[in-house]
């Protein structure tokens, strides 16, 4: 039986994401800094995953494959954190609830191990989501 974790998603800025953005969204640094999801150690144990494991994060808006990492800034069971970026945007949706900004934090997701999946590059992600790459 596959384990799934129900959690609350929070997105935000990180140093790694910011450095990657400055170097260009096509850079390896942006990919490494954004195509990731951070977990509390106890939730990683529940899912049977380790640092670097591939996971699928799913919300009512979509699903994305990213690498799992242990959240290193404290304890946050029941919550997962993704850096702002193209991978998080897939699952954040575009509803604004009349506030003018989509929800980037505080909504439910399900996470499961996805060891047979690949984390898409930015080009592949754009092609999958929009049917075109960043050059078009």
CATH code (residue 34)? 2.40.40.20
In a domain, 136, yes or no: no
In a domain, 90, yes or no: yes
In a domain, 28, yes or no: yes
In a domain, 80, yes or no: yes
What region, left, alpha or beta, does residue 108 occupy, with left being phi > 0 and alpha being psi -120 to 50 degrees?
A: beta
Is 119 a residue whose pLDDT tops 80?
A: yes
100-to-95, 107, 108 alpha-carbon distances in Å: 9, 17, 20
**CA neighbours within 13 Å on the CB side: how many for 47?**
31
Say how many Å lie between the first and final Cα of the chain, rounded.
Answer: 42
- 49/5 Cα distance (integer angstroms): 11
- When divided into structural domains, the chain yields a total of 1
Which pTM was predicted?
0.89
Q: Which domain holds residue 82?
A: 4-130
- 64/77 Cα distance (integer angstroms): 21
Q: Say which residues have a Cβ less than 8 Å from residue 84's Cβ, sequence separation at least 6.
A: 11, 12, 13, 17, 34, 104
Mean pLDDT for 42-71 is 96
Q: Percentage of the chain surpassing pLDDT 90?
A: 71
Provide the 8-state DSSP code for 49: -
pLDDT in tens, 21-48: 999 888 999 999 999 999 999 999 999 9
Is 133 a residue whose pLDDT tops 90?
A: no
Q: Please give the residue that has the higher pLDDT: either 136 or 34.
A: 34
In a domain, 47, yes or no: yes
Is 85 a residue whose pLDDT tops 80?
A: yes
Mean pLDDT for 49-53 is 96
Locate tokens 């899912």: which residue?
47
In a domain, 106, yes or no: yes
In a domain, 135, yes or no: no
In a domain, 42, yes or no: yes
């Amino acid at each position: 039986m596959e384990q799934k974790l129900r959690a609350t998603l929070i997105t935000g800025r990180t140093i790694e994401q910011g450095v990657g953005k400055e170097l260009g969204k096509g850079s390896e640094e942006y990919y490494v800094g954004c195509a990731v999801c951070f977990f509390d150690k106890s939730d990683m144990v529940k899912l049977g995953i380790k640092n670097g494991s591939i996971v699928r994060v799913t919300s009512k808006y979509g699903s994305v494959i990213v690498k799992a990492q242990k959240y290193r800034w404290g304890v946050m069971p029941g919550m997962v954190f993704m850096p702002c970026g193209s991978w998080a945007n897939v699952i954040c949706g575009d509803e604004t609830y009349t506030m003018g900004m989509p929800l980037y934090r505080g909504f439910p997701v399900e996470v499961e191990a996805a060891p047979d999946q690949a984390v898409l590059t930015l080009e592949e992600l754009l092609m999958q989501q929009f049917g075109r790459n960043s050059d078009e």
